[in-house]
């Protein structure tokens, strides 16, 4: 067995290079590859072969982690297309989006301060639905329209949403303990 450490993750797992993904096919390919490259299978071989199997196993695990999470998969697709999502450099967002984020944050902070677990859970549900809608738009931008700029913008927005979901989780955890 030998894995080309330079091939992209989609090729590695035998999947089409697109945002929409057959999760069962990814899982099956991951398990097949993991079995094939597991370092235990190479334990009896020389050190160079053991190191190579570790590199393969690491690459397979990294690919699986990247492809199974929608946001990471979208960022990877943009990277493969040569598009810098500008996560560090392009933080400019529309005023509407920024207002929406401020409103979400205020609602979370008010619910946290008042100890309203039910309201935090409700906000979490609404935010999760909002995230699903954004992912659907991301899938359309990447797979149907090939609109990489819109996809990059959506990725940046989804990162805000994901961060806010973590803040709600933290608030719920703090209130429940």
Structure-block tokens of residue 170: 């933290």
pLDDT at 85: 77
Q: How far apart are CA 45 and CA 1, in angstroms?
A: 13
Structural domains in the chain plus CATH codes: 9-68 (1.10.287.110), 95-176 (1.20.1280.20)
pLDDT at 84: 79
Average pLDDT for the chain: 90
Give the three-state DSSP class for 67. Answer: helix
Residues 172 and 124 sit within 8 Å (Cβ to Cβ): yes
Q: What is the pTM of this model?
A: 0.85
Q: How far apart are CA 99 and CA 50, in angstroms?
A: 53
Q: How far apart are CA 126 and CA 129, in angstroms?
A: 5
Q: How far apart are CA 43 and CA 80, in angstroms?
A: 34
- In order along its 177 residues, the chain shows pLDDT tens digits of 566 768 899 999 999 999 999 999 999 999 999 998 887 888 888 888 888 888 899 999 999 999 999 999 999 999 999 987 766 666 667 888 889 889 999 999 999 999 999 999 999 999 999 999 999 999 999 999 999 999 999 999 999 899 999 999 999 998 888
| 33-39: long-range pairs with CB below 8 Å, 24+ | 33/3, 33/60, 34/60, 34/61, 36/1, 37/1, 37/3
């Amino acid at each position: 067995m030998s894995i080309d450490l330079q091939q992209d993750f989609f090729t590695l797992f035998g999947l089409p290079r697109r945002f929409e993904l057959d999760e069962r096919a990814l899982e099956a390919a991951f398990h097949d590859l993991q079995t094939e490259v597991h370092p235990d299978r190479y334990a009896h071989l020389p050190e160079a072969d053991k190191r190579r199997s570790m590199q393969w196993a690491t690459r397979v695990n990294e690919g699986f982690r990247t492809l199974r999470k929608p946001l990471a998969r979208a960022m990877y697709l943009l990277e493969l297309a040569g598009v810098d999502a500008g996560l560090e450099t392009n933080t400019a967002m529309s005023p509407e989006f920024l207002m929406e984020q401020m409103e979400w944050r205020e609602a979370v902070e008010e619910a946290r301060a008042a100890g309203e677990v039910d309201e935090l859970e409700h906000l979490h549900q609404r935010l999760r639905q909002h995230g699903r809608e954004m992912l659907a738009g991301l899938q359309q931008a990447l797979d149907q329209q090939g609109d990489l700029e819109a996809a990059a913008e959506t990725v940046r927005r989804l990162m805000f949403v994901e961060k806010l979901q973590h803040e709600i989780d933290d608030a719920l955890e703090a209130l429940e303990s």
